[in-house]
Amino acid sequence: MCGIVGYIGHREAADVVVDGLTRLEYRGYDSAGIVTADSQAQLEVVKRAGKLSILKEALKTNPLKGNIGIGHTRWATHGKPNDVNSHPHLSEDSKLAVIHNGIIENYMPLKAKLISNGHDFVSDTDTEVIVHLIEEHYQGDLVEAVQNALKEVTGAYALVVSHIDHEVIVAARATSPMVIGIGENENFVASDVPALLPYTRKVIFLHDGDMALIKKASIELSDFDGNIVEREISTIDWDAEAAEKSGYEHYMLKEIYEQPTVLQNTFGGRFAANGMDVELDLGLDPNSINRVVITAAGTAYYSGAVGEYLIEQVAKIPTEIELASEFRYRKPILDENTLCIVVSQSGETIDTLEALREAKRQGAKTLAILNVKGSSISREVDDSLYIHAGPEIGVASTKAYMAMLAAFELIAIWLGRARAELSDSVASELIQALRSTPGLVEHALEEREHIAQIAEQFKDKRDYLFLGRGINFPTALEGALKLKEISYIHAEAYATGEMKHGPIALIDENMPIVAIATASELYEKTISNIQEVKARDGIIISLANPDDEQIAIHSDHVIRVPKVHELISPMINVASLQLLAYETAHRLELDVDQPRNLAKSVTVE
Ligand code: AGP
């Protein structure tokens, strides 16, 4: 997720763009850059790796003039966060500049074609491909060149283009958000509303497939074929803080609802055209390993616990999950045939970083599942698979967990296919199911009102139990963690079959028990376990699929979740548990985004 701002009008563009980027820095802060068009023969650019403050310092000594400008604050997806990979990206003659939020899925073949056509690339980004494509199509009409360039591109993008010979900025949207601000003899474009609020509250939210030709005194909307489109002008009544949360009351809730889009970004470009394979661009040889060890902390650990099931069941490789904080003190036995997968949203968790170092000391191959490019773990691991979840502001991890699960699904399929353990039909079935997950998660979140009622009813309970079997035991663990870390209610998770070995002594009429009872080979056993708990007067809150007609007999409340392949069900089931935790903490009027005692990244042991 990146922040984009464009301006054309009577003010100094650099001031407006930098101010807008400051209000969008929550969308990414790996690097930042700005281009302005003045009366010179070429665009003027300043761009720097690092936070926006570094760009602001550079602009003090190298101020940019002009009433047209575009700027970008980056969340790196392709290419390290350094100066040359920062946006804007310019054409070789510095007449054309592009900024982009999203992922160009087919950038590699396009880059190869453009290089063979004589284009010189200077960065490792996918975005630079767009600059050279527009250059290739430009014959004086900027909009036409952008339209023709985008016809060759597949992926998600919010794109803004500036050209020194045209007193316009051109914007185009496909999946990634973009909004136009309407001013008096000035106009704006940005990734999100906060950048616009100091100047205007009249906005147009672009739809997928929209293009905009933005001039000082006019805005022309069209589709990518040039057909005029009409869009509603909205008036924003949010304050600035609400706007950063896109109108949601908390970042955590915003990030829960971002999950369908995040999944599209995590999967972006990684499904092969044959519908049976995935393309992860990893250097590891899947046939060089005979064992997998996954290690992480907290929520990332629970994603790894799901990953353990997936890799064993799909790729048939012995796999174990290890707590990062215990790993190196346990003196594990690893060797060059072990693949150690470390998982970390921040890439800075010291427990996980030290576990990685222990694995490397023992000669294991290492792979990281990460969200933040340029993080400490990314610099020490052999290879990384990025989850593209964008900055996660809420301390309680939601969208990053969802994206980690998606990453493990991809890795399990990739290993299984490379080792001939996963048939065409099963691979195709899993990939089809994965492609449906953004919609299924969106559907699961529609239960929010019902979940909120349950949260209201039990928000004052002292204890909760979460039960899950098989691949959804980690889902129960994550659900319990979400609840306890933001509502401060004591919540524990158990493998459902484990209850009878002691924990069932805890059950009484004051104990809400969340039981995951979605479609599974273990469904009948789960029902038996639920009956055991019900017989002790426990309050049963079941998660079940819509077609389950018997679950209500055994439950006090049923939260319906869309049905999907069991190996993918953790992705759908967790969304309901995230909402249960959020609605509980919200009703307790607690600090949902910054719970007591916690930090977003734990960099101490
Ligand atoms: C998740 O809700 C918690 N905030 C915490 O458990 C977190 O998952 C853990 O500290 C690991 O962080 P990381 O993914 O950045 O390594």
What is the number of H-type helices and E-type strands within the chain?
Answer: 17, 24
**What's the pLDDT at 426?**
97
Task: Output the CA–CA distances (angstroms, integers) from residue 244 to 22, 105, 191, 442, 599, in the order listed.
Answer: 11, 28, 11, 21, 20
| Average pLDDT for 377-388 | 93
HSE value, Cβ hemisphere, 13 Å, CA-based, for 16: 29
Q: How confident is the model at residue 493 (pLDDT cuts 50, 70, 90)?
A: very high
Q: Best mutation site among 345, 386, 592 for ligand 1, i.e. most ligand atoms within 8 A of its Cβ?
A: 345
Task: Output the CA–CA distances (angstroms, integers) from residue 497 to 103, 174, 470, 556, in the order listed.
Answer: 43, 47, 10, 20
**What's the pLDDT at 1?**
72
Any alpha helices (H) in 419-490, and if so which ranges?
424-444, 448-458, 473-487
Residue 20 pLDDT > 80, yes or no? yes
- The minimum-distance atom of ligand 1 relative to the CA of 351 is 16
- Token code pair at residue 574: 């967790």
- The minimum-distance atom of ligand 1 relative to the CA of 395 is 4
Q: Is the CB of 175 under 6 A from ligand 1?
A: no
**What's the pLDDT at 390?**
85
Residue whose CA lies nearest to ligand 1 atom number 9: 298
Place of tokens 């494509």: 133
Lowest model confidence (mean pLDDT) among 76-90, 120-134, 250-264, 307-321: 76-90
Q: Is the CB of 574 under 6 A from ligand 1?
A: no
Question: pLDDT over 70 for what percent of the chain?
Answer: 99
Residue 28 pLDDT > 90, yes or no? no
Residue 244 pLDDT > 80, yes or no? no
CB 128 within 8 A of CB 135: no
Q: Is the CB of 36 under 6 A from ligand 1?
A: no
Q: Best mutation site among 327, 341, 601 for ligand 1, i.e. most ligand atoms within 8 A of its Cβ?
A: 601
Residue 427 pLDDT > 90, yes or no? yes
Residue 322 pLDDT > 90, yes or no? yes
Q: Are strands 463-468 and 490-495 parallel, antiparallel or unpaired?
A: parallel
b (16+ CB within 10 A) / e for 270-304: bbeeeebbbebeeebebeebebbbbbbbbbbbbbb
Q: How confident is the model at residue 26 (pLDDT cuts 50, 70, 90)?
A: confident
Delineate the domains of the chain, giving CATH numbers in brackets: 3-244 (3.60.20.10), 255-441 (3.40.50.10490), 446-587 (3.40.50.10490)
**What's the pLDDT at 604?**
67
Residue whose CA lies nearest to ligand 1 atom number 6: 298
Give 23 Cα–ligand 1 centroid separation in angstroms.
26
Q: How confident is the model at residue 526 (pLDDT cuts 50, 70, 90)?
A: very high
pLDDT tens column, 536-566: 899 999 999 999 999 999 999 999 999 999 9
Give 488 Cα–ligand 1 centroid separation in angstroms.
17
Residue of 439, 466, 541, 392 lying closest to 28 (CA atoms): 392
| Average pLDDT for 308-337 | 96
Give 298 Cα–ligand 1 centroid separation in angstroms.
5
Q: Edge-to-edge strands of the sheet including 68-74?
A: 44-49, 31-37, 68-74, 3-8, 187-190, 179-182, 202-205, 234-235
**What's the pLDDT at 120?**
94
pTM given for the model: 0.79
Question: pLDDT over 90 for what percent of the chain?
Answer: 80
Q: Is the CB of 14 under 6 A from ligand 1?
A: no
Torsion of CA 347, 356, 286, 112, to 10 degrees: 40
**What's the pLDDT at 42?**
79
pLDDT tens column, 192-239: 888 999 999 999 999 989 999 999 999 999 999 999 999 989 888 777
Q: Which residues are catalytic?
A: 2, 600
Residue 362 pLDDT > 90, yes or no? yes
pLDDT tens column, 132-160: 999 999 999 999 999 999 999 998 889 99
**What's the pLDDT at 78?**
76
Q: Mean pLDDT over all residues of the chain?
A: 93
Lowest model confidence (mean pLDDT) among 4-8, 105-109, 338-342: 105-109
